[in-house]
Amino acid sequence: MCATRPEVPADRQGIAVLDAEEIRRALTRIAHEILERTHGGAGIVLLGIPTRGVPLARRLAARIGDFEGLAVPCGSLDVTMHRDDLRLRPARALGRTELPAQGVDGKTVVLVDDVLYSGRTVRAALDALTDLGRPRAVQLAVLVDRGHRELPIRADYVGKNLPTSQREVVRVLLAEVDGADAVLIGGDGRRR
Amino acid sequence: MKRHLISAADLSRADALLVLDTAEELAGLADRPIKKLPTLRGRTVVNLFFEDSTRTRISFEAAAKRLSADVINFSAKGSSVAKGESLKDTALTLEAMGADAVVIRHGASGAAHRLAGWVRGSVVNAGDGTHEHPTQALLDAFTIRRRLHGGTRGAGLDGVRVTIVGDVLHSRVARSNVLLLSALGAEVTLAAPPTLLPLAVESWPCSVRYDLDGELPKSDVVMMLRVQTERMTAAYFPSVREYSRRYGLDAARMARLPGHAIVMHPGPMNRGVEIAAEVADSARSTVVEQVANGVTIRMAVLYLLLGGTGFPEVAR
Protein backbone atom coordinates (compact mmCIF):
# COMPACT_ATOMS: atom_id res chain seq x y z
CA MET A 1 0.00 0.00 0.00
CA CYS A 2 1.11 3.56 -0.53
CA ALA A 3 2.81 5.53 2.19
CA THR A 4 1.05 8.90 2.26
CA ARG A 5 -2.73 9.20 2.64
CA PRO A 6 -3.34 12.91 3.02
CA GLU A 7 -7.15 12.67 2.85
CA VAL A 8 -7.39 10.61 6.06
CA PRO A 9 -8.01 12.87 9.04
CA ALA A 10 -5.12 12.80 11.49
CA ASP A 11 -7.36 11.99 14.48
CA ARG A 12 -8.50 8.69 12.96
CA GLN A 13 -6.25 6.02 14.36
CA GLY A 14 -5.01 3.10 12.37
CA ILE A 15 -3.20 2.26 9.17
CA ALA A 16 -5.02 2.97 5.94
CA VAL A 17 -5.46 -0.16 3.84
CA LEU A 18 -7.69 1.40 1.18
CA ASP A 19 -7.71 5.04 0.15
CA ALA A 20 -10.45 6.98 -1.60
CA GLU A 21 -9.21 6.05 -5.05
CA GLU A 22 -9.02 2.36 -4.20
CA ILE A 23 -12.51 2.40 -2.68
CA ARG A 24 -13.78 4.02 -5.86
CA ARG A 25 -12.19 1.34 -8.00
CA ALA A 26 -13.45 -1.48 -5.77
CA LEU A 27 -17.01 -0.14 -6.01
CA THR A 28 -16.72 0.22 -9.77
CA ARG A 29 -15.63 -3.40 -10.03
CA ILE A 30 -18.45 -4.57 -7.74
CA ALA A 31 -20.97 -2.62 -9.84
CA HIS A 32 -19.73 -4.43 -12.96
CA GLU A 33 -19.83 -7.78 -11.18
CA ILE A 34 -23.42 -7.18 -10.06
CA LEU A 35 -24.39 -6.39 -13.66
CA GLU A 36 -22.64 -9.51 -14.87
CA ARG A 37 -24.11 -11.84 -12.27
CA THR A 38 -27.64 -10.46 -12.61
CA HIS A 39 -27.57 -10.40 -16.44
CA GLY A 40 -27.73 -6.66 -16.88
CA GLY A 41 -29.23 -5.74 -13.54
CA ALA A 42 -32.85 -6.49 -14.40
CA GLY A 43 -35.04 -6.64 -11.29
CA ILE A 44 -32.37 -5.78 -8.77
CA VAL A 45 -32.88 -3.76 -5.58
CA LEU A 46 -29.92 -2.49 -3.57
CA LEU A 47 -30.50 -2.34 0.19
CA GLY A 48 -27.83 -0.76 2.37
CA ILE A 49 -27.48 -1.74 6.02
CA PRO A 50 -27.16 1.41 8.20
CA THR A 51 -25.02 3.24 8.86
CA ARG A 52 -22.35 2.93 6.20
CA GLY A 53 -23.98 0.36 3.97
CA VAL A 54 -26.53 2.98 2.93
CA PRO A 55 -24.14 5.42 1.18
CA LEU A 56 -22.31 2.43 -0.32
CA ALA A 57 -25.58 1.14 -1.79
CA ARG A 58 -26.33 4.60 -3.20
CA ARG A 59 -22.90 4.79 -4.82
CA LEU A 60 -23.30 1.34 -6.36
CA ALA A 61 -26.75 2.28 -7.67
CA ALA A 62 -25.35 5.45 -9.23
CA ARG A 63 -22.52 3.51 -10.93
CA ILE A 64 -24.81 0.82 -12.27
CA GLY A 65 -27.07 3.63 -13.52
CA ASP A 66 -24.09 5.25 -15.29
CA PHE A 67 -22.94 2.02 -16.93
CA GLU A 68 -26.28 0.70 -18.11
CA GLY A 69 -28.51 3.76 -18.11
CA LEU A 70 -31.07 2.20 -15.81
CA ALA A 71 -32.43 3.59 -12.58
CA VAL A 72 -31.59 1.06 -9.90
CA PRO A 73 -33.99 1.03 -6.94
CA CYS A 74 -32.05 1.62 -3.76
CA GLY A 75 -33.06 1.71 -0.09
CA SER A 76 -31.98 0.92 3.42
CA LEU A 77 -32.65 -1.96 5.78
CA ASP A 78 -32.20 -1.48 9.50
CA VAL A 79 -31.47 -4.73 11.32
CA THR A 80 -31.31 -3.50 14.94
CA MET A 81 -34.61 -5.07 16.01
CA HIS A 82 -33.51 -8.44 14.60
CA ARG A 83 -30.04 -8.61 16.17
CA ASP A 84 -29.13 -11.54 18.39
CA ASP A 85 -27.00 -9.46 20.76
CA LEU A 86 -29.65 -6.94 21.84
CA ARG A 87 -29.65 -8.23 25.39
CA LEU A 88 -25.91 -7.83 25.73
CA ARG A 89 -25.99 -4.06 25.45
CA PRO A 90 -28.31 -1.18 26.28
CA ALA A 91 -31.05 -0.64 23.71
CA ARG A 92 -29.68 1.37 20.84
CA ALA A 93 -31.14 3.95 18.54
CA LEU A 94 -32.74 2.54 15.42
CA GLY A 95 -31.62 3.16 11.87
CA ARG A 96 -33.88 3.83 8.93
CA THR A 97 -35.65 1.18 6.89
CA GLU A 98 -36.73 2.57 3.55
CA LEU A 99 -37.83 0.33 0.74
CA PRO A 100 -38.10 1.52 -2.84
CA ALA A 101 -41.70 1.92 -4.01
CA GLN A 102 -41.57 -1.35 -5.97
CA GLY A 103 -40.89 -3.33 -2.80
CA VAL A 104 -38.76 -6.47 -2.77
CA ASP A 105 -41.22 -9.16 -3.84
CA GLY A 106 -39.80 -11.16 -6.73
CA LYS A 107 -36.69 -8.95 -6.97
CA THR A 108 -33.04 -9.82 -6.66
CA VAL A 109 -32.04 -8.00 -3.49
CA VAL A 110 -28.39 -7.08 -3.07
CA LEU A 111 -27.63 -6.33 0.58
CA VAL A 112 -24.78 -3.86 0.96
CA ASP A 113 -22.63 -3.39 4.06
CA ASP A 114 -19.23 -1.96 4.84
CA VAL A 115 -17.51 -4.79 6.73
CA LEU A 116 -18.32 -8.50 6.79
CA TYR A 117 -17.08 -10.05 10.04
CA SER A 118 -19.00 -12.54 12.19
CA GLY A 119 -21.91 -12.66 9.73
CA ARG A 120 -24.42 -11.88 12.49
CA THR A 121 -25.52 -8.57 11.00
CA VAL A 122 -26.22 -10.29 7.69
CA ARG A 123 -28.18 -13.02 9.50
CA ALA A 124 -30.29 -10.31 11.12
CA ALA A 125 -30.70 -8.63 7.74
CA LEU A 126 -31.98 -11.85 6.18
CA ASP A 127 -34.56 -12.13 8.97
CA ALA A 128 -35.58 -8.49 8.60
CA LEU A 129 -35.96 -8.98 4.87
CA THR A 130 -38.23 -11.99 5.34
CA ASP A 131 -40.72 -9.78 7.16
CA LEU A 132 -40.72 -7.25 4.31
CA GLY A 133 -41.48 -9.55 1.42
CA ARG A 134 -40.21 -12.46 -0.61
CA PRO A 135 -37.29 -11.60 -2.88
CA ARG A 136 -36.46 -13.93 -5.76
CA ALA A 137 -32.87 -14.07 -4.57
CA VAL A 138 -30.68 -12.32 -2.01
CA GLN A 139 -27.04 -11.47 -2.59
CA LEU A 140 -24.47 -9.74 -0.44
CA ALA A 141 -21.96 -7.04 -1.36
CA VAL A 142 -19.37 -5.78 1.15
CA LEU A 143 -16.51 -3.34 0.87
CA VAL A 144 -14.27 -5.34 3.22
CA ASP A 145 -14.36 -8.99 4.20
CA ARG A 146 -12.22 -9.38 7.28
CA GLY A 147 -12.91 -13.09 7.97
CA HIS A 148 -13.74 -14.73 11.33
CA ARG A 149 -17.22 -15.85 10.35
CA GLU A 150 -19.38 -17.29 13.13
CA LEU A 151 -22.24 -18.29 10.83
CA PRO A 152 -22.41 -20.01 7.44
CA ILE A 153 -22.58 -16.78 5.45
CA ARG A 154 -20.44 -15.54 2.57
CA ALA A 155 -20.40 -12.48 0.38
CA ASP A 156 -21.16 -12.54 -3.36
CA TYR A 157 -19.21 -9.34 -4.06
CA VAL A 158 -16.17 -8.26 -2.03
CA GLY A 159 -14.26 -4.99 -2.40
CA LYS A 160 -11.23 -6.27 -0.54
CA ASN A 161 -10.41 -9.41 1.40
CA LEU A 162 -8.59 -8.28 4.49
CA PRO A 163 -7.09 -11.01 6.67
CA THR A 164 -7.19 -9.70 10.24
CA SER A 165 -6.68 -10.78 13.80
CA GLN A 166 -9.77 -10.59 16.01
CA ARG A 167 -7.96 -8.08 18.19
CA GLU A 168 -7.71 -5.65 15.32
CA VAL A 169 -10.30 -3.03 14.51
CA VAL A 170 -11.35 -2.36 10.95
CA ARG A 171 -13.00 0.99 10.32
CA VAL A 172 -14.58 2.14 7.11
CA LEU A 173 -14.85 5.91 6.68
CA LEU A 174 -17.09 7.31 3.99
CA ALA A 175 -17.37 10.88 2.80
CA GLU A 176 -21.15 10.96 3.35
CA VAL A 177 -20.81 10.05 7.03
CA ASP A 178 -17.23 10.77 8.07
CA GLY A 179 -16.11 13.47 5.65
CA ALA A 180 -13.53 11.34 3.84
CA ASP A 181 -13.15 7.91 2.28
CA ALA A 182 -10.76 5.37 3.79
CA VAL A 183 -10.51 1.90 5.26
CA LEU A 184 -8.37 1.80 8.39
CA ILE A 185 -7.00 -1.07 10.40
CA GLY A 186 -5.79 -0.61 13.95
CA GLY A 187 -5.12 -2.79 16.95
CA ASP A 188 -6.80 -1.42 20.03
CA GLY A 189 -7.59 -4.79 21.54
CA ARG A 190 -11.38 -4.71 21.42
CA ARG A 191 -13.58 -6.73 19.15
CA ARG A 192 -15.38 -4.59 16.70
CA MET B 1 -33.17 6.86 30.17
CA LYS B 2 -34.17 5.69 33.61
CA ARG B 3 -35.38 2.18 34.34
CA HIS B 4 -38.97 3.22 34.88
CA LEU B 5 -41.20 5.72 33.15
CA ILE B 6 -43.23 7.23 35.97
CA SER B 7 -43.24 10.91 35.11
CA ALA B 8 -42.55 12.96 32.03
CA ALA B 9 -39.97 14.68 34.23
CA ASP B 10 -37.94 11.43 34.14
CA LEU B 11 -37.15 12.24 30.52
CA SER B 12 -34.45 14.72 29.61
CA ARG B 13 -34.75 16.47 26.27
CA ALA B 14 -32.29 13.97 24.80
CA ASP B 15 -34.26 11.00 26.22
CA ALA B 16 -37.51 12.37 24.83
CA LEU B 17 -35.94 12.88 21.41
CA LEU B 18 -34.59 9.32 21.50
CA VAL B 19 -38.12 8.04 22.11
CA LEU B 20 -39.58 10.22 19.34
CA ASP B 21 -36.85 9.26 16.85
CA THR B 22 -37.23 5.57 17.69
CA ALA B 23 -40.98 5.88 17.19
CA GLU B 24 -40.39 7.61 13.87
CA GLU B 25 -38.46 4.55 12.65
CA LEU B 26 -41.10 2.19 14.01
CA ALA B 27 -43.97 4.11 12.39
CA GLY B 28 -43.27 2.40 9.05
CA LEU B 29 -44.17 -0.95 10.58
CA ALA B 30 -47.90 -0.21 10.42
CA ASP B 31 -47.73 -0.16 6.60
CA ARG B 32 -45.91 -3.47 6.24
CA PRO B 33 -47.49 -6.82 5.51
CA ILE B 34 -46.02 -8.31 8.70
CA LYS B 35 -46.57 -5.90 11.56
CA LYS B 36 -44.31 -7.67 13.98
CA LEU B 37 -40.73 -7.53 15.19
CA PRO B 38 -39.01 -10.29 17.15
CA THR B 39 -37.25 -7.92 19.53
CA LEU B 40 -38.97 -8.69 22.85
CA ARG B 41 -39.49 -12.42 22.29
CA GLY B 42 -39.70 -14.19 25.61
CA ARG B 43 -40.29 -11.03 27.64
CA THR B 44 -43.46 -10.62 29.63
CA VAL B 45 -45.38 -7.38 29.86
CA VAL B 46 -48.19 -7.14 32.40
CA ASN B 47 -50.95 -4.61 31.84
CA LEU B 48 -52.22 -3.79 35.32
CA PHE B 49 -55.38 -1.72 34.94
CA PHE B 50 -57.23 -0.63 38.04
CA GLU B 51 -59.19 2.00 36.14
CA ASP B 52 -61.28 1.69 33.02
CA SER B 53 -59.47 2.39 29.81
CA THR B 54 -60.03 1.55 26.18
CA ARG B 55 -57.34 3.13 24.10
CA THR B 56 -54.44 3.06 26.51
CA ARG B 57 -54.78 -0.61 27.41
CA ILE B 58 -55.36 -1.74 23.83
CA SER B 59 -52.53 0.47 22.69
CA PHE B 60 -50.03 -0.98 25.17
CA GLU B 61 -51.22 -4.48 24.34
CA ALA B 62 -50.82 -3.94 20.59
CA ALA B 63 -47.39 -2.35 21.13
CA ALA B 64 -46.11 -5.24 23.23
CA LYS B 65 -47.51 -7.82 20.82
CA ARG B 66 -45.95 -6.13 17.79
CA LEU B 67 -42.63 -6.50 19.55
CA SER B 68 -43.40 -10.22 20.20
CA ALA B 69 -43.61 -9.86 23.99
CA ASP B 70 -46.03 -12.00 25.96
CA VAL B 71 -48.84 -9.89 27.35
CA ILE B 72 -50.83 -10.57 30.49
CA ASN B 73 -53.85 -8.34 30.95
CA PHE B 74 -55.05 -7.69 34.44
CA SER B 75 -58.06 -5.60 35.26
CA ALA B 76 -59.20 -4.94 38.79
CA LYS B 77 -62.71 -6.04 37.99
CA GLY B 78 -62.97 -9.78 38.40
CA SER B 79 -59.63 -10.12 40.18
CA SER B 80 -58.63 -10.58 43.80
CA VAL B 81 -58.55 -6.80 44.12
CA ALA B 82 -62.34 -7.03 44.35
CA LYS B 83 -61.75 -9.23 47.43
CA GLY B 84 -59.60 -6.55 49.00
CA GLU B 85 -56.09 -7.50 47.89
CA SER B 86 -53.66 -4.61 48.27
CA LEU B 87 -51.57 -3.12 45.46
CA LYS B 88 -48.44 -4.47 47.10
CA ASP B 89 -49.70 -8.05 47.23
CA THR B 90 -50.85 -7.82 43.64
CA ALA B 91 -47.40 -6.52 42.73
CA LEU B 92 -45.68 -9.39 44.53
CA THR B 93 -47.85 -11.87 42.65
CA LEU B 94 -46.80 -10.32 39.36
CA GLU B 95 -43.19 -10.37 40.50
CA ALA B 96 -43.46 -14.09 41.20
CA MET B 97 -44.77 -14.57 37.67
CA GLY B 98 -41.66 -12.93 36.29
CA ALA B 99 -42.97 -9.75 34.70
CA ASP B 100 -40.26 -7.87 32.83
CA ALA B 101 -42.42 -4.77 32.64
CA VAL B 102 -45.55 -3.66 34.39
CA VAL B 103 -47.81 -1.11 32.78
CA ILE B 104 -50.00 0.37 35.49
CA ARG B 105 -53.12 2.51 35.41
CA HIS B 106 -54.44 3.36 38.85
CA GLY B 107 -56.86 5.83 40.37
CA ALA B 108 -54.43 6.93 43.05
CA SER B 109 -51.75 9.48 42.27
CA GLY B 110 -48.35 7.97 43.05
CA ALA B 111 -49.40 4.33 42.57
CA ALA B 112 -46.85 3.79 39.79
CA HIS B 113 -44.11 5.27 41.92
CA ARG B 114 -44.97 2.96 44.83
CA LEU B 115 -45.09 -0.05 42.52
CA ALA B 116 -41.62 0.73 41.19
CA GLY B 117 -40.27 0.11 44.69
CA TRP B 118 -41.78 -3.37 44.83
CA VAL B 119 -41.00 -5.01 41.50
CA ARG B 120 -37.77 -5.83 39.71
CA GLY B 121 -39.03 -5.11 36.21
CA SER B 122 -39.60 -1.74 34.58
CA VAL B 123 -42.71 0.17 35.56
CA VAL B 124 -44.51 2.25 32.97
CA ASN B 125 -47.08 4.69 34.27
CA ALA B 126 -50.21 4.54 32.11
CA GLY B 127 -52.00 7.14 34.24
CA ASP B 128 -52.05 7.49 38.01
CA GLY B 129 -54.95 9.48 39.41
CA THR B 130 -54.59 13.16 38.61
CA HIS B 131 -50.80 12.95 38.53
CA GLU B 132 -49.20 11.89 35.24
CA HIS B 133 -49.60 9.99 31.98
CA PRO B 134 -46.17 10.23 30.35
CA THR B 135 -46.78 8.04 27.28
CA GLN B 136 -49.75 10.23 26.36
CA ALA B 137 -47.47 13.27 26.47
CA LEU B 138 -44.92 11.45 24.30
CA LEU B 139 -47.51 10.53 21.71
CA ASP B 140 -48.84 14.08 21.72
CA ALA B 141 -45.33 15.44 21.19
CA PHE B 142 -44.86 12.88 18.41
CA THR B 143 -48.12 13.91 16.77
CA ILE B 144 -47.22 17.60 16.97
CA ARG B 145 -43.77 16.99 15.51
CA ARG B 146 -45.17 14.94 12.64
CA ARG B 147 -47.87 17.47 11.82
CA LEU B 148 -45.82 20.65 12.14
CA HIS B 149 -42.28 19.49 11.31
CA GLY B 150 -42.98 16.47 9.11
CA GLY B 151 -41.45 14.16 11.72
CA THR B 152 -37.88 15.44 11.25
CA ARG B 153 -35.58 13.25 13.31
CA GLY B 154 -33.68 15.00 16.06
CA ALA B 155 -35.97 18.03 15.92
CA GLY B 156 -37.47 19.40 19.13
CA LEU B 157 -40.59 21.52 19.41
CA ASP B 158 -38.73 24.79 19.91
CA GLY B 159 -40.99 27.79 19.66
CA VAL B 160 -44.17 25.78 19.05
CA ARG B 161 -47.02 27.48 20.94
CA VAL B 162 -49.28 24.96 22.62
CA THR B 163 -52.46 25.95 24.45
CA ILE B 164 -53.91 23.35 26.79
CA VAL B 165 -57.55 24.08 27.53
CA GLY B 166 -59.97 23.01 30.22
CA ASP B 167 -59.93 20.73 33.22
CA VAL B 168 -56.25 20.99 34.13
CA LEU B 169 -56.99 20.28 37.79
CA HIS B 170 -58.01 16.66 37.19
CA SER B 171 -55.82 16.05 34.18
CA ARG B 172 -52.75 13.84 34.31
CA VAL B 173 -52.42 14.44 30.59
CA ALA B 174 -51.99 18.18 31.13
CA ARG B 175 -49.27 17.81 33.75
CA SER B 176 -47.24 15.33 31.70
CA ASN B 177 -47.66 17.45 28.58
CA VAL B 178 -46.57 20.66 30.29
CA LEU B 179 -43.41 18.96 31.56
CA LEU B 180 -42.54 17.15 28.35
CA LEU B 181 -43.48 19.80 25.80
CA SER B 182 -41.59 22.50 27.69
CA ALA B 183 -38.55 20.20 27.95
CA LEU B 184 -38.75 19.90 24.16
CA GLY B 185 -38.76 23.69 23.82
CA ALA B 186 -42.46 24.39 23.27
CA GLU B 187 -44.15 27.41 24.84
CA VAL B 188 -47.08 26.02 26.77
CA THR B 189 -50.07 28.06 27.94
CA LEU B 190 -52.86 26.73 30.10
CA ALA B 191 -56.29 28.25 29.47
CA ALA B 192 -58.80 27.26 32.12
CA PRO B 193 -61.25 28.65 34.63
CA PRO B 194 -59.50 29.45 37.94
CA THR B 195 -61.44 26.70 39.68
CA LEU B 196 -60.00 24.06 37.37
CA LEU B 197 -56.34 24.97 37.87
CA PRO B 198 -54.29 23.01 40.40
CA LEU B 199 -52.49 24.49 43.37
CA ALA B 200 -49.01 25.81 42.67
CA VAL B 201 -49.68 25.88 38.92
CA GLU B 202 -47.51 29.01 38.82
CA SER B 203 -44.50 26.77 39.54
CA TRP B 204 -45.13 24.76 36.34
CA PRO B 205 -43.01 25.64 33.30
CA CYS B 206 -45.89 27.34 31.46
CA SER B 207 -48.04 30.44 31.51
CA VAL B 208 -51.64 30.55 32.70
CA ARG B 209 -54.63 32.43 31.22
CA TYR B 210 -58.29 32.46 32.12
CA ASP B 211 -59.39 33.63 28.69
CA LEU B 212 -59.30 31.16 25.81
CA ASP B 213 -60.26 33.56 23.01
CA GLY B 214 -57.17 35.71 23.43
CA GLU B 215 -54.89 32.68 23.04
CA LEU B 216 -56.43 31.17 19.91
CA PRO B 217 -54.81 33.38 17.24
CA LYS B 218 -51.38 32.76 18.83
CA SER B 219 -51.63 28.98 19.03
CA ASP B 220 -49.98 26.40 16.78
CA VAL B 221 -51.60 23.61 18.78
CA VAL B 222 -54.78 23.60 20.85
CA MET B 223 -55.14 20.65 23.15
CA MET B 224 -58.63 20.20 24.58
CA LEU B 225 -58.97 18.31 27.85
CA ARG B 226 -61.92 16.22 28.86
CA VAL B 227 -64.07 17.57 31.65
CA GLN B 228 -63.61 14.77 34.14
CA THR B 229 -66.97 14.73 35.88
CA GLU B 230 -66.16 11.38 37.50
CA ARG B 231 -63.35 13.01 39.50
CA MET B 232 -65.28 16.15 40.38
CA THR B 233 -66.28 16.33 44.01
CA ALA B 234 -67.52 19.92 44.01
CA ALA B 235 -69.13 22.42 41.67
CA TYR B 236 -66.27 23.81 39.61
CA PHE B 237 -68.41 25.76 37.15
CA PRO B 238 -72.02 26.92 37.19
CA SER B 239 -73.27 24.71 34.36
CA VAL B 240 -71.96 22.55 31.56
CA ARG B 241 -73.51 24.97 29.10
CA GLU B 242 -71.65 27.93 30.55
CA TYR B 243 -68.38 26.00 30.56
CA SER B 244 -68.94 25.05 26.96
CA ARG B 245 -69.64 28.69 26.01
CA ARG B 246 -66.40 29.98 27.53
CA TYR B 247 -63.97 27.07 27.10
CA GLY B 248 -65.50 24.75 24.51
CA LEU B 249 -63.92 24.66 21.05
CA ASP B 250 -66.61 25.17 18.45
CA ALA B 251 -66.37 25.98 14.75
CA ALA B 252 -66.37 29.74 15.35
CA ARG B 253 -63.42 29.49 17.73
CA MET B 254 -61.60 27.09 15.44
CA ALA B 255 -61.89 29.65 12.64
CA ARG B 256 -59.76 32.05 14.69
CA LEU B 257 -56.80 29.68 14.79
CA PRO B 258 -53.89 30.22 12.40
CA GLY B 259 -54.19 28.20 9.17
CA HIS B 260 -51.61 25.56 10.13
CA ALA B 261 -52.86 25.04 13.70
CA ILE B 262 -53.99 21.61 14.84
CA VAL B 263 -56.60 20.55 17.40
CA MET B 264 -55.78 17.69 19.75
CA HIS B 265 -57.78 15.74 22.30
CA PRO B 266 -56.45 12.83 24.38
CA GLY B 267 -59.87 11.12 24.35
CA PRO B 268 -62.42 10.08 25.34
CA MET B 269 -64.20 13.17 24.04
CA ASN B 270 -67.32 14.76 25.43
CA ARG B 271 -68.69 16.00 22.13
CA GLY B 272 -70.63 19.19 22.65
CA VAL B 273 -68.93 20.00 25.97
CA GLU B 274 -65.23 20.78 25.49
CA ILE B 275 -65.19 20.11 21.76
CA ALA B 276 -67.91 20.45 19.13
CA ALA B 277 -68.53 17.46 16.88
CA GLU B 278 -67.72 19.45 13.73
CA VAL B 279 -64.32 20.39 15.24
CA ALA B 280 -63.58 16.84 16.36
CA ASP B 281 -64.26 15.56 12.85
CA SER B 282 -62.46 18.37 11.00
CA ALA B 283 -59.19 18.04 9.10
CA ARG B 284 -57.38 19.95 11.84
CA SER B 285 -58.31 17.38 14.44
CA THR B 286 -55.59 14.81 15.18
CA VAL B 287 -57.70 12.62 17.47
CA VAL B 288 -57.51 9.48 15.32
CA GLU B 289 -53.83 10.07 14.49
CA GLN B 290 -53.10 10.33 18.20
CA VAL B 291 -54.49 6.85 18.75
CA ALA B 292 -52.41 5.38 15.91
CA ASN B 293 -49.32 7.21 17.14
CA GLY B 294 -49.99 5.86 20.64
CA VAL B 295 -49.15 2.32 19.54
CA THR B 296 -45.95 3.49 17.87
CA ILE B 297 -44.80 5.55 20.85
CA ARG B 298 -45.51 2.71 23.28
CA MET B 299 -43.51 0.32 21.10
CA ALA B 300 -40.61 2.77 21.28
CA VAL B 301 -40.91 3.05 25.07
CA LEU B 302 -41.11 -0.73 25.58
CA TYR B 303 -38.19 -1.28 23.22
CA LEU B 304 -36.01 1.29 24.95
CA LEU B 305 -36.87 0.00 28.44
CA LEU B 306 -36.73 -3.74 27.68
CA GLY B 307 -34.82 -4.14 24.42
CA GLY B 308 -31.32 -4.22 25.89
CA THR B 309 -29.63 -4.87 29.16
CA GLY B 310 -29.31 -1.86 31.32
CA PHE B 311 -30.87 1.31 30.09
CA PRO B 312 -29.80 3.43 27.21
CA GLU B 313 -27.38 6.17 28.09
CA VAL B 314 -28.19 8.85 25.63
CA ALA B 315 -25.07 9.52 23.61
CA ARG B 316 -25.96 12.38 21.33
Domain spans of chain A, in order of start? 15-83+94-183
Residues of A with CB under 8 A from a CB of B: 78, 81-82, 86-98, 127, 131-133
Q: Is A93 in Cβ contact with B22 (below 8 Å)?
A: yes
Nearest CA in chain A to B2: A90
B312–A contact, CB cutoff 8 A: yes
Q: Is B309 in Cβ contact with A89 (below 8 Å)?
A: yes
CATH hierarchy code of domain A15-83+94-183: 3.40.50.2020
B154–A contact, CB cutoff 8 A: no
The reply to whether CATH 3.40.50.1370 applies to domain B135-286 is yes
Nearest CA in chain B to A124: B38
Given B57, B133, B146, B147, which residue is catalytic? B133
Residue A16's pLDDT is 92
Given B22, B44, B56, B296, which residue is catalytic? B56
Q: Is B34 in Cβ contact with A131 (below 8 Å)?
A: yes
How many percent of chain B have pLDDT more than 70? 98
The 10s digit of each residue's pLDDT in B263-315 is: 999 989 999 999 999 999 999 999 999 999 999 999 999 999 998 875 555 44
With vertex at residue A67, the alpha carbon angle to CA A62 and CA A69, rounded to the nearest 5 degrees, is 80
Is residue B133 among the annotated active site residues?
A: yes
Model confidence at A90: pLDDT above 90 = no
pTM beyond cutoff 0.80: yes
The 10s digit of each residue's pLDDT in B134-176 is: 999 999 999 999 999 998 999 999 999 999 999 999 999 999 9
Given B57, B66, B105, B253, which residue is catalytic? B105
The 10s digit of each residue's pLDDT in B169-196 is: 999 999 999 999 999 999 999 999 999 9
Residue A187's pLDDT is 67
CA B38 to chain centre: 26
Q: Would B8-133+291-306 and B135-286 be classified into the same CATH topology?
A: yes
Q: How far apart are CA B247 and CA B40, in angstroms?
A: 44
Model confidence at A12: pLDDT above 70 = no
Q: Smallest CA–CA separation between B309 and chain A, in Å?
A: 5
How many percent of chain B have pLDDT more than 90? 80
| Beta strands in A33-136, from DSSP E residues, in sequence order | 44-48, 74-76, 108-116
| Out of A81, A90, A132, closest to residue B310 by CB | A90
Nearest CA in chain B to A134: B33
Residue B235's pLDDT is 84
Answer yes or no: are the C-beta atoms of B207 and B168 closer than 8 Å.
no
The 10s digit of each residue's pLDDT in B81-99 is: 777 888 999 888 888 888 9
B31–A contact, CB cutoff 8 A: no
The 10s digit of each residue's pLDDT in B208-246 is: 999 999 999 999 999 999 999 888 877 899 999 999 999
Helix (H) or strand (E) holding A84: none
Given B83, B233, B309, B316, which residue is catalytic? B83
* Average pLDDT in chain B: 92
Least confident of A63-67, A146-150, A187-191, B287-291: A187-191
Answer yes or no: are the C-beta atoms of A189 and A167 closer than 8 Å.
yes
Nearest CA in chain B to A76: B25
| Out of A78, A90, A127, closest to residue B312 by CB | A90
Mean per-residue pLDDT, B244-263: 96
Residue A115's pLDDT is 97
Q: Is B32 in Cβ contact with A132 (below 8 Å)?
A: yes
ipTM value of the model? 0.85
- Chain A CB contacts of B36 under 8 Å are 131
Pairing between β-strand A108-116 and β-strand A137-145 as defined by DSSP bridges: parallel
Model confidence at A132: pLDDT above 60 = yes
Q: Is B307 in Cβ contact with A82 (below 8 Å)?
A: no
Residue B310's pLDDT is 56
Q: Is A90 in Cβ contact with B309 (below 8 Å)?
A: yes
Model confidence at B45: pLDDT above 70 = yes
Q: Is B305 in Cβ contact with A81 (below 8 Å)?
A: no
Q: Is A93 in Cβ contact with B21 (below 8 Å)?
A: yes
Least confident of A92-96, A137-141, B20-24: A92-96
| Out of B25, B34, B67, closest to residue A94 by CB | B25
Is residue B56 among the annotated active site residues?
A: yes
Phi-psi region of A179 (alpha: psi -120 to 50; beta: other; left: phi over 0): left
- Chain A CB contacts of B304 under 8 Å are 91
End-to-end CA distance of chain A: 23
Mean per-residue pLDDT, A8-23: 78
Q: Is B28 in Cβ contact with A127 (below 8 Å)?
A: no
For residue B141, the tally of other CB atoms under 10 A from its CB is 30
Answer yes or no: are the C-beta atoms of B45 and B72 closer than 8 Å.
yes
Mean per-residue pLDDT, A143-161: 97
pLDDT band at A188 (very low <50, low <70, confident <90, very high): low
Cα A129 to Cα A79, A108, A150, B27: the distances in Å are 9, 12, 20, 17
Mean per-residue pLDDT, A84-110: 92
Q: In chain B, what are the domain boundaries?
A: 8-133+291-306, 135-286
User: Which residues 288-307 of chain B have a CB within 8 Å of chain A?
Assistant: 303-307
Q: Smallest CA–CA separation between B277 and chain A, in Å?
A: 37
Torsions phi, psi for B44 (to 5 deg): -115, 130
Helix (H) or strand (E) holding B211: none
Mutate to test the interface with B, among A77, A92, A127 (most CBs of B within 10 A): A92
The domain B8-133+291-306 is placed in CATH, from the list 3.40.50.1370, 3.40.50.2300, 3.40.50.720, 3.90.1150.10, at 3.40.50.1370
